Amino acid sequence: MGRMLETLKLGEGRRTPLAISMPADAAPVQDCVVDWEIGAEVPYVEVGGPNKKVEFSPALLKHPPQATPQPPHLPGEIATKASTVYLTESKPMTASLEPWPAPMPLSLHADIVAYHQPEHAASKQYAELLNAIHGTLKTNAAKVLLVCGLRPGVGASNVLLNVAVTAALKLQVRVAILDARGGLAERFGLARSIGLGEVMTGSLALEQALVKTGIGSLCLMPAGKPSTLTREAMAWLVGWLRERFDLIFVHGPTMANAASGDAYVAHADGMYLVLPQGEPSDSAQDLARAVAGMGGRLCGLIHTQFGK
């Protein structure tokens, strides 16, 4: 502050007139005054006083004592100075096997001899029957085969199951059974009470209605609750199955009343009538004409004979 006052007091008195050389004929110029002489020391004002070194307080120079870093302890022992611990290293993993019981064998009905005894004479006859059925069909596209009994108790269910199992095991093709009559889920040992009937009422999707039987690529659509299947519904159902399977067996109703098979006959590639051995073929003549009237074709008669 003192330097500032001194500068203000002495600065004006130290001003010096400025000598400027002018031509002789030039007009006179008033004297100019400059604040400072050229080369003279320029006064300055130092704000904050002279620069001084500031020393830290002894209290600030004292740091609190730091704990000496300790190595981590190893499991079960104290780590020594020579021990090296890698914190990112994982512990070795051990594994052990617990044996699991083998899956229960399929509880198929004993009548499905093609599965239980593939080398039995009856199983070989079913293989021959499958080849004969193929021979009666006109195309090699996906097949829909309708199997019906002339009347109850002639063995139509046994024929259908054994031929379908033979196809799944021997031909290695995708096989489906559509149970439109009922009773086949129990023959496969399946506790299934829903299926085709629920699909027709809209309470079950087609994908959910199919059940794997555990025999190769053989699937079953159980009958479910009783329902009426129209021609339009059968056309939709068969079209969906054709896209997913190579061979479809339809377990149709008995032909005691030919009109009961109207919805199934028209959309099958071939119909096969099962009747007992010794039954005169003439009894099927009227039925063949009725099937043709429904838009289907009776491809053959399957004669059954129960062992004694």
Structure tokens belonging to residue 7: 């500068």
pTM: 0.66
Per-residue pLDDT tens digits of the chain, which is 308 residues long: 555 556 555 555 444 555 555 566 655 555 555 454 555 555 555 555 555 565 656 665 566 666 666 655 555 544 445 556 556 667 888 899 988 876 666 788 889 999 999 999 999 999 999 999 988 887 777 799 999 998 899 999 999 999 999 999 998 899 999 999 999 999 998 887 899 999 999 899 999 999 999 898 999 999 999 888 888 999 999 999 999 999 999 999 888 766 677 888 989 999 999 999 888 777 778 888 888 888 888 999 999 988 76
Q: What single-letter DSSP state applies at residue 12?
A: G
pLDDT of residue 251: 95
Q: What are phi and psi of 126, to 5 degrees?
A: -65, -35
Residue 276's nearest CA partner among 193, 132, 159, 186 is: 159
pLDDT of residue 133: 92
**What CA–CA distance (Å, rounded) separates 54 from 18?**
46
- Domain boundary assignment for the chain: 117-304
Q: What is the third-level CATH fold of 117-304? A: Rossmann fold (3.40.50)
CB atoms within 10 A of CB 283: 13
295: left (phi over 0), alpha (psi -120 to 50) or beta: left
pLDDT of residue 196: 93
